[in-house]
Amino acid sequence: MKITAVRIHNLASIVDAEIDFLAAPLKDAGLFAITGDTGAGKSTILDAICLALYAKTARLGGDRGNKVEFQGDSIRLNDARNLLRRGTSNGFAEVDFVGQDKESYRACWSVNRSRGKSDGNLQAAQHTLHLLPDDTLISSDKSKTVKQIEAKIGLTFDQFSRAVLLAQHEFAAFLKATGDERAQLLECLTGTDKFSRIGVRIFERNKELKEKFELLQASLASYTLLSEDELAAKQTSLNELKLQIEHTKKTLTTTEQNLNWYKQANTLEQALKQAQQNQQQAQNELNAIAQQSEQAKQAQSALEIKDNRSRFKSLTAQNIELNTKVSDLKSIDHTAIITAHANTLSKHQEILQTAKEQKKTAEPIIAKARELDSQLAIQAQTIASLTQQSEKEQLQLNDLQQQFKQSQSVLDEATKLSAQHQQWLTTHTQLKPLANDWNYYQHSFNQFLNATEQLKTTAHQNQKLVAEQAKQATLLTAQNTKVESQEQLLASEQKNLNQLNEQQRQFNIEQCDAKLKNIDYLKDQRERYKQFNHELKYSTQQQTRVAEKLIQSEQAQNALLQNLASCEQTLKHNEYTLSQARLRASENVEHLRTQLAPNEPCLVCGATEHPYASTQNQQLNNLIADFETAYNNAKQQRDSAQTQLHQHQTQHAVLVAEQTQHGQAIQIAQAKQLEIKTTMQDARTELNELTTEKLDETYKQLSEQKAQYFAVQTQLRTLQEKVNQQLNALKTEQHAQQQLQNQHVELTNQLNQLSSKHNELSVQINELSAALNAQFEHSDFWQQLQSESLTLSDLNKQVEQYQQTLTQLEQSQKQLNSTDQQLQQLTPLITKSDHALKALNDDLAKAQQQQNITQSQRLALFNNEQISASDYQTKLAMQLEQCQTQLNASQQAHDNAIKQRDEHAITLKNVEQRLQEHAQELTSLEARYLEWFTDFKAQHSDATHEQVTILLTLSSEQIKAHLKQFEQVSQTLTDTNAALKQQQKSYTEHQNTDKPSKNHDELTEQLNVLNTQQTELQNSLLATNTAIEQHNQNAKTLKGKQAELTTLKTQVDQWHLLNKVLGDATGKTMRNLAQTQTLKILLHYANSHLKTLNKRYELTAIEHSLDIAIIDRDMADEQRSVNTLSGGESFLVSLALALGLASLSSNKVQINSLFIDEGFGTLDSETLSVAMDALDSLQAQGRKVGVISHVSEMSERVATQVHVAKKPGGYSSVEIV
């Protein structure tokens, strides 16, 4: 890492400065000095380097809490923006450097005030990093920029402060410190505080394991075991209880079976009633649709005449339309229409001839009009050209006249202003010297007035600080009294808190909670076991009931299968018979169709066309209908049998699933009971032997003890909070006390600073006043400035006005000369333009007169009608075309009338012929219908023609739906009758089975008594089994806990030994041990530098300690204390330590720039000479070293210097010499 340039603007006392280490003379100098008077701003250069790279400085790092007023802004003392120069609007620090990657970068830290004004609000600082030489932006975010710079340099801020900016005073203290203080300093300087944290962690880990071991050891007392006699008695009792439970379970099963007889009887009785209701409902539905089904059967018979009636109706409607059409055709008079069209045709022929003659007459007139139109076009162009030239010339004349008038007005105004400016400058002659060099005089006046104002402000602040210091002293005395009182009160409350803590330690809350949880767990397991026992009984009963139903269901299913097989056989027989009948019917129909002859009337319908042959043998049809009825009935019986079988199979599957479900429920309940038994055996305690009443009593006692514990705990927390409040109050008072002390010290420092500043300002005012009096002693404005009757701003305005007036006077003179020349040039141009305009206007008047004559001749050609020759010719052509079109239309209309007359005659003949054909077909259709109706009435004596019409309105789908509904309801009635018989049979069979000797109520009471006995026996069994299992679990747990205790004891011993060697509450032991090694490494680096500085001495660390000794090579390697070194020797050793720390902090980073800030003024001439020799030798290591000092001897020894010089007005300049 190497710094190549530093730039500063408006930071502290430095206004503008640039230090370029790549330019001569710094480029060739390995050692240079930063010199200047005290307070000139030498350390500001180092602050600027830190600001540009890390956005903070080491000098401001310690002030964190207090805030100060900074020109209207309240900011913290450690805020880097405090370095912005007072009275300025912006400032920055910029550093160019070469990173570890050999690339060049530019880091910049800047701060601004709002609106770019010195009285604007202070804005947030900006921090950027650019890549050189392209000035490419890498980062502009403050936090990211610092991380980027740390990565490029390879050093954090703390490492940079130790490796690049060396502060020697820390190592002077390091040499004289004790071992513990030296460890703390090493930890701070090297950033190795992690070893202290490791020591503290060892201490805390040892404490945690010790507490855990004690807690585990105490918990073993809560586990108890049964004696051998008690365990044997419990086992005997457990076996007896199991036998009693088995006997009670058998009795329960018998009682539940007897109760199931009454339940099944009730179920069968309800099913019988439901079957009776279903049978009655089906009978009612069949009666309700009987009439509707009869009508559907008649409608089905009427379908064979439906086509006949549809054709009859269609022909009747067609005859009505045809008769209407005949009347319309006969009403038309074609002769009158043809005569009218002939007259119109003759008229249009005459009009066409007239139009042709008119067009021939107009041809010479059109030719003349076109000739005059050409002349008018030429005349219009001439007039337009002359008009344009005249308007252009008029505009040019107007423009010249306007310019002449404006120039004359400008000339008059400039003459007037020039006289006014000259008079004002003569009146204010005393401002002339200020106007010639106003920047210089303004800066001098500003310095004088600022210094005067600061002097007054300093005097006022001094009075205010003296009064405030007295007030702070009174407050500090009162605060000391409050702190003492608060400490006494805290001691009293702490004593009460310790007593309550001792009381709480005597009660084991963990053991109490464990017992309460065990009781809750035991109750819960007992209740769960009881619940699963009830579920097991219920599932067993249900499984038995479903098994009986399954047997009955299988028997019924076999009967249904036999019935379905019988129905299937009957259906196949009927299907074969029907197919044979249909085959014969098909042959008969074919025979009848062969007897039909073309154009011969059909015997059935009378039609001469035979697209369909619908006649059949009626006897054969009746036979087929009977077969179809038998087939349909057989199919319905087969479908009904399938439906019953499917329903029964579904019910049977439901019973099987229910049986499986009950079996699974039994297995789950048994598994849960076994799980509870196993869990209780694994978690067995002495509580398992207690009855429910004893458990409740124990639970109540433990709860009361726990409540009492928490009551004391609440009291303890209240007291602890009170102690914490007292402690916080004490800390607050102590903090206030410390603040008052700091404020008192701060006020004293401020008073000293104000006094020093007052003296500096007085000297500065005297110097500035003497210099200004020499030039303006008799000037009014200088006297007014001193008396404050004139402000510098007002004087600035007067000077600016003088400068502006002088400039305006020069501009007025130039304008006078320019305007006079313009007037002389405009006069001849105006005269020439006026003559040209008059000539153009005369030519334009002549051209317009000739155009009027030609236009009069043109209008006379077409009777003063304003129309072009082409338009007139087009108009005549359109009239001729229109006449021809009208003639053609008349001819077409005459021809169409003759054609329409002939077509109507043919149409009338065709319509009359169709009417005759329709009349014959209607007669035949009516005869066929009457023949059918006679047969239909023979079957249905009450039938009428109106009823037939109604029957024909029903569609085939409606007829089929009504018939299907009748069949379904009939089948439902058959099914319900069968179901009723089956239910009556089942009910009778159940009543004939063995009826229990006891009634339902007696059996229910007996079942309740048995369940109670069973529950009591189960509880006793659970308690006995739990006690045995708890015994086994406690024995197993104690064995495991003992092994855990042994392992934990080993860990406690190991960490106890480790804590004894390395650990403590503050980490001091580990820190001192680690820093012993750090010290050796540091001394290794320091000795390598010390050999270069002084070969006589070598640093060494005293074995197993943090003490440092010196080996003197000139005294036979004598080892002596560092306190025996002289001042110069101490400096050399301190410098070696500083360079050693720089090497230690940058052992992975190459550093080519060093800045050493050391108080060389405290050294005598001999020691200073030794120090300078040492610094010269550092150049051999390839580093550029900068030394900050205000000692004059430095100028003699170091040829290249960065000199910071103080200037009047509180600012400094930087110069490379």
Q: What is the CATH number of the domain that holds 1111?
A: 1.20.1050
CATH number for the domain spanning 86: value is 3.40.50.300
| HEC sequence for 693-753 | HHHHHHHHHHHHHHHHHHHHHHHHHHHHHHHHHHHHHHHHHHHHHHHHHHHHHHHHHHHHH
pLDDT for position 586:
52
d(CA 491, CA 494): 5
Contact between 904 and 338 under an 8 Å Cβ cutoff? The reply is no
Q: Which of 306, 402, 475, 493 is nearest to 953 (CA)?
A: 306
Contact between 1011 and 307 under an 8 Å Cβ cutoff? The reply is no
Percentage with pLDDT > 90 across the chain: 4
d(CA 363, CA 861): 12
Same domain, 669 and 762: no
Same domain, 524 and 581: yes
Q: Which range scores top for mean pLDDT: 175-189, 603-617, 1014-1028? A: 1014-1028
Is the pLDDT confidence value at 984 over 60? yes
pLDDT for position 583:
58
The residue with tokens 């002389």 is 824
Is the pLDDT confidence value at 553 over 70? yes
Is 800 inside any structural domain? no
The answer, yes or no, to whether the previous bond of 25 is cis (omega within 30 of 0) is: yes
pLDDT for position 486:
77
Which one has a higher pLDDT value, 958 or 20? 20
State whether the Cα torsion 247-252-257-261 is positive or negative: positive
d(CA 863, CA 861): 6
Which one has a higher pLDDT value, 999 or 599? 999
Six token digits for residue 497 = 């808190």
Is 653 inside any structural domain? yes
pLDDT for position 664:
72
Bridge partners (DSSP) listed for residue 1185: 31, 1154
Is 280 inside any structural domain? no
d(CA 157, CA 58): 9
Backbone dihedral angles phi then psi of residue 1109, each to the nearest 5 degrees:
-130, 165
Same domain, 158 and 56: yes
Same domain, 1066 and 1182: no
Single residue among 943, 963, 983 that ends a domain in this structure? 963
CB-neighbour burial class of residue 779 (10 A; exposed 0-12, middle 13-18, buried 19+): middle
What is each CA distance from 988 to 201, 398, 991, in whole angstroms?
90, 137, 5
The whole-chain average pLDDT of the chain stands at 78
Backbone dihedral angles phi then psi of residue 1158, each to the nearest 5 degrees:
-135, 145
Is 913 inside any structural domain? yes
* pLDDT band (50, 70, 90) for residue 589: very low
Same domain, 520 and 589: yes
Beta-strand relationship, 1097-1101 and 1108-1112: antiparallel
Single residue among 1147, 1173, 1207 that ends a domain in this structure? 1147
pLDDT for position 814:
80
- Which residue type is seen at 87? G
Radius of gyration (C-alpha) of the chain in whole angstroms: 65
The residue with tokens 């960065």 is 1202
d(CA 1066, CA 180): 13
Same domain, 160 and 173: no
> Tens of pLDDT along 687-712?
666 677 777 777 777 777 777 777 77
pLDDT for position 52:
93
Is 463 inside any structural domain? no
For the ranges 317-331, 585-599, 802-816, 1127-1141, which has the lowest average pLDDT? 585-599
d(CA 1025, CA 680): 8
What is each CA distance from 441 to 85, 436, 768, 775, 776, in whole angstroms?
22, 10, 11, 11, 11
> Tens of pLDDT along 779-804?
777 777 777 777 777 777 877 877 78
> Tens of pLDDT along 294-313?
777 777 777 777 777 787 88
Half-sphere exposure of 528 (CA within 13 A, CB side): 18
Same domain, 101 and 194: no
pLDDT for position 110:
93
What is each CA distance from 569 to 417, 559, 641, 717, 757, in whole angstroms?
139, 16, 13, 96, 133
Is 1217 inside any structural domain? yes
d(CA 1155, CA 3): 11
Q: Which of 1126, 1147, 1156, 1041 is nearest to 215 (CA)?
A: 1041
Is 769 inside any structural domain? yes
Exposure string over 818-835, b if 16+ CB within 10 A, otherwise e:
ebeeeeeebeeeeeebee
Single residue among 1147, 1173, 1190 that ends a domain in this structure? 1147
Is 1118 inside any structural domain? yes
CATH number for the domain spanning 618: value is 1.10.287
Percentage with pLDDT > 70 across the chain: 86
pLDDT for position 360:
78
d(CA 162, CA 436): 53
Contact between 430 and 779 under an 8 Å Cβ cutoff? The reply is yes
Same domain, 918 and 1047: no
Which one has a higher pLDDT value, 278 or 858? 278
pLDDT for position 615:
42
d(CA 592, CA 596): 7
For residues 1034-1038, average pLDDT = 78
Backbone dihedral angles phi then psi of residue 168, each to the nearest 5 degrees:
-75, -25
Same domain, 35 and 55: yes
DSSP codes of every residue in 1082-1120: HHHHHHHHHHHH-TTEEEEEPTTSS-EEEEEGGGTTEEE
CB-neighbour burial class of residue 213 (10 A; exposed 0-12, middle 13-18, buried 19+): middle
Is the pLDDT confidence value at 65 over 60? no
Which one has a higher pLDDT value, 1041 or 614? 1041
Same domain, 571 and 719: no
Q: Residue 1184: in which H helix or E strand, if any?
A: strand 1184-1188
Is the pLDDT confidence value at 1029 over 90? no
Same domain, 1137 and 1160: no
- Overall number of domains in the chain: 6
Same domain, 141 and 44: yes
- Which residue type is seen at 957? E
Is the pLDDT confidence value at 399 over 70? yes
> Tens of pLDDT along 439-479?
777 777 777 777 787 778 888 877 887 888 788 788 878 87
DSSP codes of every residue in 1023-1061: HHHHHHHHHHHHHHHHHHHHHHHHHHHHHHHHHHHHHHH
* pLDDT band (50, 70, 90) for residue 612: very low
* pLDDT band (50, 70, 90) for residue 588: very low
Range of the domain at 706: 691-724
For residues 175-179, average pLDDT = 72
> Tens of pLDDT along 1135-1169?
787 777 767 655 556 677 778 876 566 566 766 67
pLDDT for position 686:
63
For residues 649-668, average pLDDT = 70
